Amino acid sequence: MRRYSITMLTVVLSIAFAGAAMAQHNARGMTKIEANSQTVSIDYGRPSLHGRNINDMLGKLPAGGFWRLGADSSTTFKTGTDLKFGDVTVPKGTYSLWAQKESDNSWKLVFNTQHGQWGTQHDPSKDAYFVPLTEAKAGSPQNLVTITLTKEGDNGGMFDVVWGDLELTAHFTAQ
């Protein structure tokens, strides 16, 4: 009887984990660098444009609207060291990442203290840090959302997200 129970538990857990994995419909991406001898990483879903125009998709976001910077589970940002983005210091920790479109059509990178939730479940009351993003036309447009962290100097780096011909960037230094 005990062997049967263990076998059934194994089957149920296998089905549960397979179901969770299948719920992630898009490929996952990961980027990471070392800053101040600590890891900074981003795990995110990679939706595809599927022939759609990025301006038709994100251009219709209302002022104050949020883009979840990926697909499926929320985009997760982890840093083992405090990071300074211009005048904003983001303490070491784990956050979900969002991009917020402002009324003047500029963008802000939003660090939210809630993480691990489904990507459409944004709780603005947990938004903790807001970093201005620089928008540019991507030199190399991407069909899939592509987020990269690039090392700059000894303790610096750059956050970069490209989707279609939209590119948003922010520079940071490790503290």
Q: What is the DSSP letter of 61?
A: P
Q: What is the pLDDT of residue 3?
A: 59
Q: What is the pLDDT of residue 24?
A: 55
Give the 3-state secondary structure of residue 21.
helix
Q: Give residue-wise pLDDT tens across range 118-148.
A: 878 899 999 999 999 999 999 999 999 999 9
Radius of gyration of the chain (CA): 18
| Nearest-angstrom CA–CA distance, 151 and 148 | 10
Q: Give residue-wise pLDDT tens across range 99-110.
A: 999 999 899 999
The percent of residues in the chain predicted with pLDDT above 70, rounded, is: 86
DSSP strands (E only) in the chain: 28-35, 38-45, 66-67, 76-79, 83-85, 88-90, 93-101, 107-112, 127-152, 156-174
Q: What is the pTM of this model?
A: 0.84
pLDDT at position 77 over 80: yes
